[in-house]
Amino acid sequence: MNYEKRRLRMVDYQIKSRGIRDDLVLEAMKKIERHLFVPEEQVRYAYNDRPLPIGLNQTISQPYIVALMTEFLNLKGSEKVLEIGTGSGYQAAILGEIAAEVHTVERHAELAERASSLIASLGYTNVHVHLGDGSLGWTDEEPYDAVLVTAAAPEVPEPLKDQLIEDGRLVIPVGHPRAQLLEVWQKKAGGFVQECVANVAFVPLYGEHGWDKDPRTNFNY
Ligand code: SAM
């Protein structure tokens, strides 16, 4: 089966069937070629229903989780979005397909460089990859209409809340290093309305407002 067929099946069987309805999200997931974002030895699994290793102990997220998180941002097309945790660049490309402008921050130079050149080669002039500690957000381009964190935080980093516009949404996995709740925060009248929407398992968010060392080796199970 060719990649396009696999991708359309992925959208039908993994994403639509689990209740994702936002047409902008579904169209972006149909269009972006996930197999270009994974290492060569993972290409055959690119449209499977799971995260995949991308090197440096990091992962590209499960397609359904990418769709779910994107849907919770409630994007309409004119937004400026901040993503923390560029990884392969796949989620950033999905955001770039939907939003007007995307800034994505990655702490590993190797991943940032790889994602940046892939995204540029695909023609996304509205997606900007930055190297740095994303737990601090990215102040050069604030404020953002939406913020998406694709690594697990011990708690919501305050700078990310600060860099959001009024009515803006922040989607972030928060909790235990091996299992988190996906939280959606919306800024309202200077405060926040918050809800927990799913159980997820992400790799850790490191940095000043994240974990300072691998938290998964500090716990007894
Ligand atoms: N969104 C990615 C994609 O589409 O491939 C998947 C992200 S992966 C699950 C989490 C990423 O967060 C890793 O690439 C990791 O290096 C990055 N990360 C962890 N802590 C970070 C921090 N403080 N700042 C920026 N990136 C961070």
The CATH number linked to 188 is: 3.40.50.150
Q: Which residues are catalytic?
A: 61
* Residue 95 CB less than 6 A away from ligand 1: no
Does any domain span residue 52?
A: no
pLDDT tens digits, one per residue of 175-188: 998 999 999 999 99
* Least confident span in 143-147, 166-170, 194-198, 214-218: 214-218
Give the chain's domain count: 1
Does any domain span residue 189?
A: yes
* Residue 138 CB less than 6 A away from ligand 1: no
Residue span of the structural domain in which 84 resides: 62-210
Ligand 1 centroid vs 150 CA: distance in angstroms? 6
Ligand 1 centroid vs 182 CA: distance in angstroms? 16
pLDDT tens digits, one per residue of 127-161: 999 999 999 999 999 999 999 999 999 999 999 99
* Residue 51 CB less than 6 A away from ligand 1: no
DSSP state of 45: G
Does any domain span residue 126?
A: yes
Does any domain span residue 40?
A: no
Ligand 1 centroid vs 79 CA: distance in angstroms? 21
Does any domain span residue 11?
A: no
User: What is the pTM (predicted TM-score) of this model?
Assistant: 0.96
Does any domain span residue 45?
A: no
